A = this chain, B = another copy of it.
Amino acid sequence: MVAPLKVGIAGLGTVGAEVVRLIEQQNSILAARCGRGVKVVAVTARSKTKKRGVDLRGIDWMKDPLAVAQHPEVECFVELMGGVGDPALSSIEAALGAGKSVVTANKALIAKHGLKLAASAEKNGGALNYEAAVAGAIPIIKTIREGLAGTDINRVYGILNGTCNYILTRMELEGLSFEECLKDAQRLGYAEAEPSFDVDGHDTAQKLAILASLAFGTKVAQSAVSVEGISSIAAEDLRAAAELGYRVKLLGVAMRTATGIEQRVHPTMVPLSSSIAQVMGVTNAVTVDGAGIAPITLVGPGAGGAATASAVLADIADVARNVRALPFGRPVEKLKTTTKAPMERHEGGYYIRLMARDLAGTAARIATRLAEQKISLESIVQRHPNGGIEPVGKSTKSSPVPVILITYATTEDAMRRALQAVQSDKVISGKPQVIRIEKN
């Protein structure tokens, strides 16, 4: 019988305590699956006395994370503290430098320091596994890195932030405003007191940067991601989307284009019939488009103690089975530098909602301005006072009326120029709302 893999854990919050509990509870399955058991030999956390509902007897309590990483028996260091600086960074560096393996759920740290850490893992022979850092229990890292190892990937996109998806779901189902839903999400613990990291799209951008690296062999670079959040979305947009056969999701999208890898996070209209449109509440989902094959979509819990612990345990199991995948799927020195793709060059369809001053004249003017930019319209509809839609031109009202345009694929540059011209024409009041459309 091979000796069990000896694990040290830094951080005993909800996830850490669940990992300790699962290692105990699942040990015979882990032993059968991996050819050896898993044993926690050292832990640390901020408070030694806090009640956690797990039995820590027989496990060394260390004074700090670095001591766990350096514990002579620890072969696999599990970092579950969070934070992009020390002690998470220095303790992971110490473990990898000593040839140990590391498992972490820390997406911010991987997004910021992943390349340096991966280089150390590759040089010293340890694993650096971080399945829990992106989309919780969904095995998307393993799927891209291993399950699609021989598949040429053209696009990877998904719902990577449960807070935003929860807010958009409630806005749509209950017709509420962004602010109302955010407050409720905060009250229920789905959103932080300082929500901007989630609702402005930065959390999604960190995760997307990691997925893009794995899919396209580029260096992780959060700075290469164009980011827009969901705070500008109105309940009216969600209603109109539904009527037009779409649903609005905050997507992270990374795709191959003629000019390089485009990485962007923004509210997106997806067809109601797509798998990703069905993903409601705090659930996450990721779709991968491989060359020549239909899209593959993975849906599941993106956060929560048990879901995150499930991914951490799978990573530990890979270490126990002695699997050493390259952290970013390819050697770090082969990863290519990626730069921010200018959104002006983005190509796709657009949803545009604007307030027309004088309906008949406005429609003609808008059509002209769009035609000047060679933009074709899939539909142009006017919102009814009762919330429905009808073809433009049926109303005789003279006060501003909301009009919704759906364009066929065009460039963002052309769309912006057309809207600027429409604004200069003074036929609309206020600023148009623009949401990009992502088709399957």
Interface residues of A (CB under 8 A from B): 22-23, 25-26, 29-30, 32-35, 131, 137-139, 142-143, 145-152, 217, 273, 275, 278-280, 283, 290, 292-301, 304, 306-307, 310-311, 313-314, 316-318, 321, 323, 325-326, 329-331, 334
Contact = CB atoms under 8 A, between A and B. Distances in A.
A295 B307 CA distance: 10
A314 B146 contact: yes
A131 B318 CA distance: 18
A342 B317 CA distance: 35
Interface SS, A side: mixed
Given A273-B278, A275-B278, A323-B323, A149 B294 contact: no
B33 A145 contact: yes
Nearest to A326: B33
A361 to B, nearest CB: 42
Given A33-B149, A143-B147, 8 more contacts: A32-B331, A33-B145, A35-B326, A138-B296, A147-B311, A292-B306, A295-B300, A297-B299
B314 A148 contact: yes
B131 A30 contact: no
Contact of A316 (B34, B138, B150, B326): B150
A318 B321 CA distance: 13
Contact of A137 (B279, B296, B310): B296
Counting every copy of the chain, the complex holds: 2
A316 B151 CA distance: 12
A141 B310 CA distance: 17
Contact of A293 (B149, B292, B299, B310): B310
A297 B296 contact: no
Given A32-B331, A150-B310, A283 B293 contact: no
16 contacts: A30-B150, A137-B294, A139-B142, A139-B148, A142-B142, A142-B147, A146-B314, A146-B318, A149-B314, A150-B317, A273-B278, A295-B300, A296-B298, A297-B297, A297-B300, A298-B298
Contacts of A131: 147
Contacts of A150: 22-23, 26, 29-30, 310, 313-314, 316-317
A264 B390 CA distance: 49
A317 B146 contact: yes
B314 A325 contact: no
Nearest to A296: B300
A423 B103 CA distance: 61
A26 B318 CA distance: 25
Contacts of A280: 273
A139 to B, nearest CB: 3
A274 to B, nearest CB: 8
Contacts of A217: 29, 32
